[in-house]
Amino acid sequence: MSNPLRDMEHPDLIFCIGTNMTECHPVAATRLKKAIANGAKMIVADPREIQLAKMADLHLPIRVGSDVALLLAMAHVIAREGLIDQDFIDARTSGVGEFLEHLKEFTPEWASEICEVPAADLEKAGILYGQGTPSAIYYTLGITEHISGVDNVQSLCNLALMTGNLGLEGGGINPMRGQNNIQGAGDCGAVPANFPGFQPCDDPASARKFSKAYGIEIEAQKGITKVTALNQAASAEGGIHAMIIDGENTVISDPDMKHCEHALKSLDHLVVIDLFLTETAQLADVVFPATAFAETDGVQTNTERRVQRLRAAVPPPGEAKPDWWIISQIAQRIGTPGFEFESAKDVFNELCSLSPIYAGLDWDRIENSEYSWPVPDKDHPGTPRLHEKEFKNGRGLFKVIGYRDPAEVIDDEFPVWLTTGRRLESYHTRTQTGRSAGIDYLLSEESLEIHPADAEAWDMADGEIIRMSSRRGEIQIKIRTTDRSPQGTVFTSFSFASVPVNILTGSGYDPVTETAELKVCAVKLEKF
Amino acid sequence: MNQLAEEIRVGTLTLDGEPVDFREGETIYEVSERCRREVPTLCYDPRLEAFGACRLCVVEVEGIRNPVASCTTKATEGMVVRTRTKTLEKHRKTLLELVASENRDTKVDELSGYASQEMNDLLVRYDARTGRFGGKRSGTSNSKDKNPFILRDYDNCISCYRCVRVCAEQEGDHAINIMNRGFDTQIITEFNNDLRDSSCTFCGQCVQTCPTGALTDKKAIRAKDTPGEIKKTRSVCTYCGVGCSVDILTKGDRVVGIHPAMDGPANEGALCIKGQFAFDFVHHPDRLSKPLIKQEDGTFKEAEWDEALQKAADGFLKVREKYGNHAVYGVASGRAPHEAAYTMQKFIRAGFGTNYIDNCSRA
């Protein structure tokens, strides 16, 4: 997030797109509710009538995967109505000329055809966002899990740049990070493009820095993503032959389950570290038992870049060990130096010594959760709000972006849109929530949400078990009729291993990030 | 405590004979709290709009004939306030005895909830009797609500409405409300249904603000008879990226409950159903407790650490020898802490000289 969580109580206009915040980030959503109670207006763009949509002044039930068209039309309206912030644009951005010229043809009427939302509502959305003082954007995986994920994010940046909604209390562009330490995993350099602290792998100076620190020549080029690695593992030519996976139930959470399973089974060697013998761990050659929440001393970074301490309260079961200890032991046994860590504190302090954004931090300084990175030195108070005076890379760049259809669109054979997501009571593949008493009382099984008119047209009854298939496979699922789903679009979560919806997904990947288009898939529904 | 910086000070009053500064909009109660006067309250929660219902926080203000509720009275320049006179203390004791006369069990287990001891602590502090005003009772226990998280024992309800107000003002769910008045007052959901059939999201905030244990954390209270002291350990919830601060409640080696941290920077006392109630996985019998090695028949056998670690390392060495450094890939967790992700990327970079490392953020 560009802005701190506390800023969520202060926007004048809230624009939520592709975020089911009351279910996925419920505590953050309470702040938006307070802002609304204090008079803030809210636009919600989401195909489904989620809880946020019911609270909104304007709900845009856009067709899945049509975000870029919506955002182009909003930008068009903002430019046409003179709602741009010329002082901000002049002082802090570049590329506005080409961008404004590009926008001219993308009218609300044009977007209305693609988004399947009335042009008047798109018009209203542009005006509301453009008039907000300030306007804040919140998004989650509904923006990024598309083949146009990067385009979607950059389109949001264009909106914020043209209206000067960056660096302000209650404004900004705010991705709500999903998993508890997904931000931290990136901070720590567990990505193929960056060393710790987002130092680029293809920058020779950074590669030299880490080669020196680690005592081995590290290649000065990006690695491959997990998506490519799994593709290589599954292919006949091979490429990837061994993997180590820590705390991820890849088989259930990743797209195109059959492909994923095949890839992992094709490996010569698979090591998994986890709390449970998950569907993924069952495919491993060696499985190590890890310590869990309440058993582990460590650090995690939240969605507002706040670096916080986890503390152990109870001993782990049996011989379970912290992940860092297990990985360090394997590293030592393959002869890698530099893994003589004796505590989580040792590991974290090494990270801080190599990461410019953590340079002012160490284990003792984060005791009270006071710092949001970047914290470049020990005298720095941290950075709760980014871009206040300047952008890290100089000027904010407008990007010229066009609309593209999703990787898969509905046709005669697969005539229904499927979109997937999460529910309040489940966390990911339920390895944790599914093993906690009481959760089943509220949510004991997965179901497919279908609009009642669709169910009637397709001769299906609430509670009926049907067959749902895509180009990649089929599953059986119970249907639940609800007008939360728009006609022609169905929804389910991927949390239940008994209803493995990711057998169906995986139609395409963003060309830049290789993030799967988990939010769009064409399916057909059949009665048994 | 008594003096404020010039830029936030808007005036000075006299508090129990001492000059004390106050801020814009500060109430007498807030000034008294800052100066550690320990003015008693039951309906007060610093996160909620002041309600002025319990009248325990009354103070004497010179020039005003009757004592005023300090939680709803703003501090003004030159005000002379007394927070603890003989008359006030007697008045508070009588009020407490009136409130407590209805309550069958004023002693409730600490595991009931974060604020559950407030009422009983005041009864002890004021040596207040519970049987002085016997007779009619209000509140009816809603024992039919079978939800597994929140016990609704309104026999202990004192109509402070903190639960109703926290649900509306903090959580924004408006799941519960007040029906009837006086002795017939009830806290109900829409149409008086179970919580599951209301807009309740089981965030637990009502439980944690209840000052009497009328609302009880059903999961925590399971450990009521477990021997041992309750210990609190500050940590962070691991159920999403918001990073809510929590206090993990333990007895011996067991996690018995979770309290939201009222001073947690991300959550300021709020939690959701997962963070509040979904902690049993920690001690679940399915937890792995020994390393496992796959045998030739495809089944796993439990192994000692040395054997398993060596087998894991040998597998990587063999693949490297046969296919080179670009045949090995690492996937870090988005749920494990930094130390896991950092060592994982170092394992790949320092071990194989590549950047063949990712985490679970692409799916």
pLDDT tens digit string along A378-435? 999 999 999 998 888 789 999 999 999 999 999 999 999 999 999 999 988 888 999 9
Closest chain B C-alpha to A149 CA, distance in angstroms: 11
Task: Please check the confidence at residue A497 and state whether its pLDDT lies above 70.
Answer: yes
Q: Percentage of chain A with pLDDT > 70?
A: 100
Of A271, A284, A310, which is closest to B337 when you measure between CB atoms?
Answer: A310
Of B196, B333, B337, which is closest to A442 when you measure between CB atoms?
Answer: B196
B243 contacts A306? CB cut-off 8 A: yes
Confidence of residue B185 (pLDDT cuts 50, 70, 90): confident
Q: Which SS3 state, helix, strand or coil, does residue A523 take?
A: strand
B132, part of any domain:
yes
The sheet that has B254-260: what strands, in order across it? Answer: B231-236, B245-251, B254-260
Domains of chain A, by residue range, sit at 5-176, 179-223+291-377, 224-289, 416-527
Closest chain A C-alpha to B174 CA, distance in angstroms: 11
Rounded CA-CA distance A512/A519 in Å is 17
- Considering chain A, what is the average pLDDT of its residues? 96
User: Which fold is adopted by the domain A5-176?
Assistant: Dimethylsulfoxide Reductase; domain 2 (3.40.228)
Closest chain B C-alpha to A251 CA, distance in angstroms: 11
Closest Cα partner for A269 from A325, A324, A334, A321? A334
Rounded CA-CA distance B261/A32 in Å is 20
B270 contacts A268? CB cut-off 8 A: no
Task: Please check the confidence at residue B74 and state whether its pLDDT lies above 80.
Answer: yes
Q: Are residues B257 and B192 in the same domain?
A: yes
Rounded CA-CA distance A444/A146 in Å is 29
- Largest Cα–Cα distance of chain B, in whole Å? 92
- Residue A287 near residue B324, CB atoms below 8 Å: no
DSSP secondary structure letters along B198-212: TT-----HHHHH-SS
Q: Are residues B204 and B108 in the same domain?
A: yes
Of A177, A246, A302, which is closest to B331 when you measure between CB atoms?
Answer: A246
Across the range B114-119, mean pLDDT stands at 96
B313 contacts A176? CB cut-off 8 A: no
Residue A486 tokens read as 């728009």
- The residue from B215, B249, B283 where one domain ends is B283
The predicted structure's pLDDT at residue A452? 97
The predicted structure's pLDDT at residue B142? 67
Q: Are residues B67 and B135 in the same domain?
A: no
Task: Please check the confidence at residue A341 and state whether its pLDDT lies above 90.
Answer: yes
Name the residue with higher pLDDT: A255 or A146. A146
Rounded CA-CA distance B119/B128 in Å is 11
B318 contacts A303? CB cut-off 8 A: no
Confidence of residue B192 (pLDDT cuts 50, 70, 90): confident
Across the range B341-361, mean pLDDT stands at 97
DSSP letter (8 states) at residue B170: I
Task: Please check the confidence at residue B137 and state whether its pLDDT lies above 80.
Answer: no
Rounded CA-CA distance B173/B166 in Å is 9
- The residue from B223, B258, B283 where one domain ends is B283
Confidence of residue B104 (pLDDT cuts 50, 70, 90): low
Asked if the A179-223+291-377 domain carries CATH number 3.90.1150.50, the reply is no
ipTM rounded to 2 decimals: 0.95
Residues of B within 8 A of A370 (CB-CB) are 265
B108, part of any domain:
yes
B292 contacts A248? CB cut-off 8 A: no
Strand partners, A396: A93
Q: Are residues B120 and B48 in the same domain?
A: no
Backbone CA torsion sign across A66, A68, A71, A77? negative
Domain that holds residue B273: 99-283
Of B169, B330, B337, which is closest to A181 when you measure between CB atoms?
Answer: B337
- Residue A507 near residue A520, CB atoms below 8 Å: yes
A99 CB-near residues (< 8 Å, 6+ apart): A158, A162, A398, A399, A400
Rounded CA-CA distance A53/A36 in Å is 13
Tell me the Cα Rg of chain A.
Answer: 24
CATH, residue B104: 3.30.70.20
Residues of B within 8 A of A176 (CB-CB) are 241-242
Choose, out of B349, B352, B354, the residue to mutate when testing the contact with A (most A CBs < 10 Å).
Answer: B349
The predicted structure's pLDDT at residue A504? 94
The predicted structure's pLDDT at residue A440? 92
**Helix (H) and strand (E) counts for chain B?**
9, 16
Pairing of strands A135-139, A13-17: parallel
Of B270, B341, B351, which is closest to A336 when you measure between CB atoms?
Answer: B351
Of B243, B245, B323, which is closest to A303 when you measure between CB atoms?
Answer: B243
Q: Percentage of chain B with pLDDT > 70?
A: 97
Closest chain B C-alpha to A103 CA, distance in angstroms: 30
Task: Please check the confidence at residue A166 and state whether its pLDDT lies above 90.
Answer: yes
Q: Do domains A179-223+291-377 and A416-527 have the same CATH topology?
A: no
Closest chain B C-alpha to A213 CA, distance in angstroms: 9
Task: Please check the confidence at residue A507 and state whether its pLDDT lies above 90.
Answer: no
**Helix (H) and strand (E) counts for chain A?**
19, 20
Rounded CA-CA distance B197/B145 in Å is 10
Q: List helix spans (H) across chain B.
A: 28-34, 86-100, 118-125, 162-165, 205-209, 218-221, 273-277, 305-323, 338-352
The predicted structure's pLDDT at residue A436? 92
Q: Percentage of chain A with pLDDT > 90?
A: 94
Rounded CA-CA distance A97/B284 in Å is 60
Across the range A272-286, mean pLDDT stands at 97
B289 contacts A442? CB cut-off 8 A: no
DSSP letter (8 states) at residue B166: I
Q: Which chain A residue is nearest to residue B238, measuring alpha carbons? A: A180
Task: Please check the confidence at residue B140 and state whether its pLDDT lies above 70.
Answer: no
The predicted structure's pLDDT at residue B363? 65
Residue that is written with structure tokens 């060592």 in the block: B343
Count Cβ–Cβ pairs < 8 Å, chain A vs chain B. Answer: 484
Closest chain A C-alpha to B270 CA, distance in angstroms: 6
Report the range of poorest mean pLDDT among A14-23, A78-87, B106-115, B296-305: B106-115
Closest Cα partner for B306 from B317, B319, B293? B293
Choose, out of B198, B299, B335, the residue to mutate when testing the contact with A (most A CBs < 10 Å).
Answer: B335
The predicted structure's pLDDT at residue A409? 96
Q: Are residues B278 and B218 in the same domain?
A: yes
- pLDDT for A57-87, tens place per residue? 999 999 999 999 999 999 999 999 999 999 9
The predicted structure's pLDDT at residue B120? 93
Residues of A within 8 A of B243 (CB-CB) are 180, 300-304, 306, 308
Residue that is written with structure tokens 């909106």 in the block: A159
Q: Which SS3 state, helix, strand or coil, does residue B15 take?
A: strand
- Residue A33 near residue B172, CB atoms below 8 Å: yes
B355 contacts A222? CB cut-off 8 A: yes
A90 CB-near residues (< 8 Å, 6+ apart): none
Residues of B within 8 A of A438 (CB-CB) are 147-149, 218-219, 277-278
Rounded CA-CA distance B267/A120 in Å is 38
Asked if the A416-527 domain carries CATH number 3.10.129.10, the reply is no
Closest chain B C-alpha to A41 CA, distance in angstroms: 16
Q: Where are the beta strands (DSSP E) in A386-456?
A: 396-397, 416-421, 448-450
Q: Which amino acid is at A398?
A: F
Run of H or E residues at A149: helix A149-163
Confidence of residue B1 (pLDDT cuts 50, 70, 90): low
How many domains, in total, are found in chain B? 3
Of A222, A294, A333, which is closest to B282 when you measure between CB atoms?
Answer: A294
Residues of A within 8 A of B270 (CB-CB) are 27, 30
DSSP secondary structure letters along B228-287: S--EEEEEE--SSTT--EEEEEEETTEEEEEEE-TT-TTTTT---HHHHH--GGGG-TTS
- The residue from B233, B262, B283 where one domain ends is B283
B311 contacts A285? CB cut-off 8 A: yes
- Considering chain B, what is the average pLDDT of its residues? 94
Closest chain A C-alpha to B329 CA, distance in angstroms: 5
CATH number of A224-289: 3.40.50.740
Closest chain A C-alpha to B199 CA, distance in angstroms: 10
B258, part of any domain:
yes
Q: Are residues B131 and B249 in the same domain?
A: yes
Across the range A508-517, mean pLDDT stands at 92
Residues of B within 8 A of A140 (CB-CB) are none
Q: Are residues B191 and B306 in the same domain?
A: no
- From residue B14, give the alpha-carbon distance in Å to each of A249, A260, B6, B19, B273: 63, 72, 18, 5, 45
Residues of B within 8 A of A298 (CB-CB) are 336-340
Q: Are residues B48 and B179 in the same domain?
A: no
A324 contacts B342? CB cut-off 8 A: yes
